[in-house]
């Protein structure tokens, strides 16, 4: 998929009136944020803002970015509805203006970057996390291909290279203490595009 078609796909999805993945935060993110003291948090590939808005409601100082201007519009609307402020930028990862080691946490929730870039993006994002900072990660595993074949409504990339494995996570985040890393089956009920049983990788890591 070319960069232009990738951007077009997400703008079309987020242009719809309904929130593609709902307005409620991801369950795994919710459970993990409840364990942390609010600080500065970054949400890459934030889409329509359901997760970043939730973090802001908990008192986090929230930054987010995505390539989709339509996603930002929906995120801004959701933030206004919930009476919170998020710093949401529309840009590619190469144009980020954050400071090194600026964030206490980075939340990668279904941040499925193009297959040829995903490891590079993970290592780039690492620069913005403080030593002792936390990565919160949930995304579809390589086994998820079989779940999509059984039920397209569960969503997720249809090419195995864009999906994740435990081995890839260990390589991409080699400088982290692994607090949790598992491949597991879960049931998703997130808006229109995440519905049904799927296979995910969940990772909680602390930067050494």
Q: Look at residue 113 and give its three-state secondary structure.
A: coil
| 108 backbone φψ class: left, alpha, beta (φ>0; ψ -120 to 50) | beta
Report CA-CA distances (Å) from 148 to 82, 141, 153. 33, 11, 8
CATH for the stretch 3-207: 3.40.50.150
58 near 84, Cβ under 8 Å?
no
- Could you tell me the residue ranges of all domains in the chain? 3-207
- Confidence check: pLDDT of 45 > 70: yes
pLDDT tens per residue, range 131-152: 999 999 999 999 999 999 999 9
Identify the band that residue 1 occupies on the pLDDT scale cut at 50, 70 and 90: low
**CA angle centred on 89, ends 174 and 15, rounded to 5°:** 110
pLDDT tens per residue, range 59-103: 999 999 999 999 999 999 999 999 999 999 999 898 999 999 999
Task: Provide the whole-model pTM.
Answer: 0.96
71 near 47, Cβ under 8 Å?
yes
Q: What is the mean pLDDT of the chain?
A: 96
- Confidence check: pLDDT of 23 > 70: yes
């Amino acid at each position: 998929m070319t960069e232009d078609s990738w951007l077009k796909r997400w703008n079309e999805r987020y242009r719809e009136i309904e929130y593609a993945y709902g307005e409620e935060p991801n369950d795994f993110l919710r459970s993990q944020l409840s364990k942390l003291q609010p600080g500065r948090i970054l949400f890459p590939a934030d889409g329509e803002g359901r997760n970043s808005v939730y973090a802001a409601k908990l008192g986090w100082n929230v930054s987010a970015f995505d390539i989709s201007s339509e996603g930002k519009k929906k995120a801004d609307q959701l933030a206004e509805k919930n009476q919170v402020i998020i710093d949401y930028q529309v840009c590619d990862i190469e144009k980020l203006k954050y400071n090194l080691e600026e964030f206490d946490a980075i939340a990668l929730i279904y941040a499925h970057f193009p297959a040829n870039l995903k490891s590079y993006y993970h290592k780039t994002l690492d620069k913005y996390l403080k030593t002792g900072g936390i990565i919160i990660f949930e995304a579809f595993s390589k086994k998820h291909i079989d779940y999509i074949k059984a039920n397209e409504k569960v969503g997720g990339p249809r090419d195995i290279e864009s999906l994740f494995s435990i081995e890839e996570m260990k390589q991409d985040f080699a400088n982290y203490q692994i607090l949790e890393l598992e491949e597991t089956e879960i049931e998703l009920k997130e808006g229109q595009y995440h519905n049904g049983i799927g296979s995910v990788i969940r990772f909680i890591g602390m930067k050494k």
